[in-house]
Structure 1
Amino acid sequence: MRILMLAHSFNSLTQRLWVELGRAGHDVSLEFDVSDAVTIEAVELAKPDVIIAPFLKRAIPETVWRRHKCLVVHPGPLGDRGPAALDWAILEGHEEWGVTVLQAEAEMDAGPVWAHRRFAMRTATKSSLYRNEVTDAAVDAVFEALRVAEPIRPERTWWKPAMTQATRAIDWDTDDTAAVLRKLRASDGTPGVRDGGFYLHDGAAADGLNVCGRPGQWIARQGGRLARATTDGAVWIGHARTAEPGSLKLPAATVLADIAAGLPEQPGHHDIWYDEKDGVGTLHFPFHNGAMSTEQCQRLREAFLAATQRPTKVVVLAGGPDFWCNGIHLGTIEAADSPADESWRNINAMNDLCEAIITCSSHLTVAAMAGNAGAGGVFMALAADMVLARTGVVLNPHYKGMGNLYGSEYWTYLLPKRCGTAAAQALTLARLPIGTEEARDWGLIDAAFGASVAEFRAGVEAFAADLAAKPDIGNHLAGKRLTRLADEAEKSLAAYRAEELEHMKLNFYGFDPSYHVARWNFIRRVPKSRTPLYLARHRNKAQTTSR
């Protein structure tokens, strides 16, 4: 089936559908929703059997939906209508929610329904629910919609408007911790909760603090997080940004530096922690949006080295539930006085971490990817001896989409070692997401399992415990050391790193500003002005035909 996907951006759901539909044998192409004229032209070129809109911010042109079957993915249950469905679901405390695939018509979200799914709500942010439950349900519903012969009309519908900041606003004098967290979670990612001259993001309960204060008072700090008192406790605010247009979302202690300076350090919501069981040490690092700043890379390296000093034989690198890792932190780089210098510091800190994992001779290492990974995060995973991934995870094993960035993290050593030189070149040049089945076919991962994060983690725990208990694990470690010595003799890690960083130096300091422009646009969520040809395959075909 020829499928044209129409989307505002290539977000997590759009990428997952791209992967799954392509894997199922469909001819998939994508067009960013830039304007009516561009969309109409794309449809004429693609000649699709069906148009799927997984993520739009405006209506499909009437000339398109009247002539073509247009399936819109709405993150709400059967009958729900409106542009902020998931926000309302979290704020109102729904225990169950859903996804509906409906046909585009003149009235928003009012068309016939081709498929729908329901799921149990977790206590989680909007972004986390969207990347997991919503995405899984949407994939199932879209595939059903492609099979169904006739749609249905809901017996009852209801409209919920866009959520305003007045609705999201926290009343510190009356809102308890649960209410504050619901508002923060419902506003996670975009737009955040407006609070005076700032937007607040990334909230978590602050339990067990040794300090207290009146509701609304900032009372403590822990790394980049700041704690603020509520009527019955306190919450940690992980990130914030000023209300000025184009402002950057950064650790709250950076944005509110004057407030943070006078607050006492308190233990709290850590972004790195370690646990140990059955001869296995596990490092968790659920960094916000999977990005790793220079300082976070350095702390994670120290934590990894400390884990290798423990009397265990396996170290699991668990990442976080939503992201394993997405590489260097473009936000802290953009905010630096010299983004080029901070880019250089950040990539070197990433390399130091990857080198520690590659050269670990005392333990077998397992990268356990419960969430998506991209760019340097994918290659950091390949530094481990074994790579496991949750079913449904999406990987982006390339850098070039960020202004033709070359990349480092020893990828020129790790990727060909996994899948061969030709395949490594094909993967990095394609600039496309891949699913776990394809990643396993390419050799990037060793196994994929687990429909949910909990199921995957239970499987990883059993796998790692079994690995640690093997009577011949000493032989495995000896073989690992011999392989590393042979690889080093053939070409040193220092040589790979130096060659990669020569390219990166040009990206950061050279005459071509494309990396800096792409980073600026990415951080500020500037919409794409056109669709790249590796996604807009219908335009590629048109160019080929015209020659």
Structure 2
Amino acid sequence: MRIIFMGTPDFAVPALNALVAAGHEVCAVYSQPPRPANRGKKLTPSAVHSRAEELGLEVRTPTSLKTEDEHTAFAALNADVAVVAAYGLILPQAILDAPKLGCLNIHGSLLPRWRGAAPVQRAILAGDEETGVMIMQMEAGLDTGPVRATARTPVDRKTAGELTAELALMGADLLIEVLANLDRHPPVPQSGEGITYASKIDKAEARLDFGLPAEAVERHVRAFNPVPGAFFEFEGERYRVLSAKIESINGEPGTLLDDCLAIACADGAIRPAIIQRAGKPAMPVADFLRGKPMPPGIRLT
């Protein structure tokens, strides 16, 4: 097939790789424009942009798809289908209608649960036991289109980074399966029940709230790993918690219960396993405490 690919982050790269490996003609790749990154704030292309250039594909990085010129340029590609994976721009109806077979979206949840921007993080935060990836026929609504195929996986104790990487590979495989035989994967309307929305993650949400039960606090740690990183503050410094275990001990929420960094929550406690000081590499908590002891009784915020 002649395909337009539209994606931006790492999540979308396996699908692009799979399309090329399967022999499809990727006639153009759309991605978000390069953004300032790292301390030098140098303009850096997205993961999809970089991979597309490595593959020798044409890359387009418009800031909007709302103009007539963009509609015309998109339609002129004469694509059979467009594949969208975490692209980051709203597709106007003129874009949705341009490919012969419309636009297919790779979405990382079990729709209609977690429509929107952050389905993986929201599934972890909510304590969902299962999530998955779907190939959806796009329409104008927010992730409301009919679904062509589904793959499922348990959430277990996976971090958002681990789960996103797993769903990316699952979505790539599912996409190739659907494109190989669209007739065997007809679009099925989503259920009108169980609809939830995965709003974009606000960095302020990453502050750990020890007034919650330990189970919920530990989910926050996993949901915000690798970004933006769940954190607490002590003596004006921020500490990111990248991994933690639940302990069945109790105390005043936010208080250190021993000299190994067990932190009391509303019910139970968490014990960080991997921690990171601002500007420092992540390290096991035992190594961290050798350089920064935190005795019992300290109150964290």
TM beyond 0.5: yes
Give per-residue Cα distances to partners, 1:496-517, cap 9 Å, x unaligned.
Answer: xxxxxxxxxxxxxxxxxxxxxx
Matches within 5 A, 1:33-432: 33-34=32-33, 35-37=63-65, 40=71, 43-44=74-75, 46-68=77-99, 69-80=102-113, 81-132=115-166, 134-146=167-179, 147-149=181-183, 150-157=186-193, 158-162=195-199, 163-164=201-202, 169-176=207-214, 178-193=215-230, 195-196=232-233, 198=238, 200-205=240-245, 215-217=253-255, 220=259, 227-231=261-265, 232-236=268-272, 238-240=274-276, 250-251=281-282, 260-263=291-294
Q: Deviations over 1:157-190 (max 9, x none)?
A: 51314155676553324422x2221111112222
Q: Give the whole-Å Cα distance in 2 for the aligned partners of 1:198 and 1:259.
A: 18
Percentage of pairs with the same residue: 24
Q: Distance in 2 between matches of 1:199 and 1:99?
A: 33
Q: Check whether the contact 1:122–1:129 (CA below 8 A) recurs between aligned residues.
A: no
Q: Deviations over 1:42-81 (max 9, x none)?
A: 6356432211111223312332113231111111113221
Higher helix share: 1
Query: Could you say what secondary structure the match of 1:76 adopts?
Result: coil
What is the CA-CA distance between 1:135 and the residue it aligns to?
2.3
Q: Residues 79, 262 of structure 1: CA spacing in aligned structure 2 closer, same or farther, 3 A cutoff?
A: closer
Q: Give yes or no for contact 1:187–1:201 (8 Å, CA) kept in 2.
A: no
Instruction: List gaps (5 residues or longer) in structure 1.
Output: 222-226, 243-247, 265-547
State the partner residue of 2:46: none
The alignment partner of 1:18 has SS state of helix
**Deviation for aligned residue 1:205:** 1.5
Give yes or no for contact 2:7–2:31 (8 Å, CA) kept in 1. yes
Larger mean Cα displacement after TM superposition, 185-194 or 228-237: 228-237
What is the deviation of 1:194?
Answer: 5.2
How many Å separate the matches in 1 of 2:187 and 2:246? 47
CA distance in 2, matches of 1:159, 1:39: 32
8 Å CA contact 2:206, 2:228 repeated in 1: no
Following TM superposition, by how much is the alpha carbon of 1:109 offset from its aligned partner in structure 2, in angstroms?
A: 0.2
Q: Is the 8 A contact 2:118 2:198 kept in 1?
A: yes
Superposed structure 1 runs of 4+ greater than 6 Å apart: none
| Amino acid paired to 1:21 | L
Q: C-alpha offsets along residues 79-135 of structure 1, whole Å, 9 cap, x if unaligned?
A: 221222222211222222121221232211012222222222221101101112x12
Distance 1:6 1:27, change over 3 A: same
- The answer as to whether partners of 1:33 and 1:39 remain within 8 angstroms in 2 is no
- Cα separation, partners in 2 of 1:98 and 1:51, compared to 1, 3 Å: same
- 1:44/1:144 CA distance change after superposition, 3 Å: same
* Aligned-partner Cα distance in 2 for 1:239–1:61: 43
Give, in whole Å, the separation in 2 of the partners of 1:114 and 1:199.
Answer: 43
SS in structure 2 at match of 1:36: coil
Separation in structure 2 between the aligned mates of residue 36 and residue 27 of structure 1, nearest angstrom: 24
Aligned amino acid, residue 26 of structure 1: H
**How far apart are 1:199 and its partner, in Å?**
6.5
Residue 213 to residue 70, structure 1, CA distance change in 2 (3 Å): same
Matched AA of 1:234: I
Residue identity opposite 2:143 in structure 1:
D
Greater relative contact order structure (CA < 8 Å, 6+ sep): 2
State how far apart, in whole Å, the 1-side matches of 2:280 and 2:112 are: 35
Q: 1:236 to 1:51 in 2, by over 3 A?
A: same
Aligned residues: 246
Match of 1:30 in 2: 29
Distance 1:70 1:234, change over 3 A: same
Conserved 8 A contact 2:253-2:264: yes
Structure number, greater radius of gyration: 1
2-side partners of 1:174 and 1:151: how far apart?
Answer: 41
Question: TM-score, length-normalised on structure 1?
Answer: 0.39
Cα pair distance change 1:194/1:202, threshold 3 Å = closer
Deviations 1:392-425 (A, max 9, x none): xxxxxxxxxxxxxxxxxxxxxxxxxxxxxxxxxx
Q: Write the distance in 2 (CA, Å) between the matches of 1:236 and 1:31.
A: 40
* Counterpart-to-counterpart distance in 2, 1:104 and 1:261: 51
Secondary structure of residue in 2 paired with 1:79: coil
Matched residue of 2:225: which SS?
coil
Q: How far, CA to CA, are the matches of 2:213 and 2:207 in structure 1?
A: 10
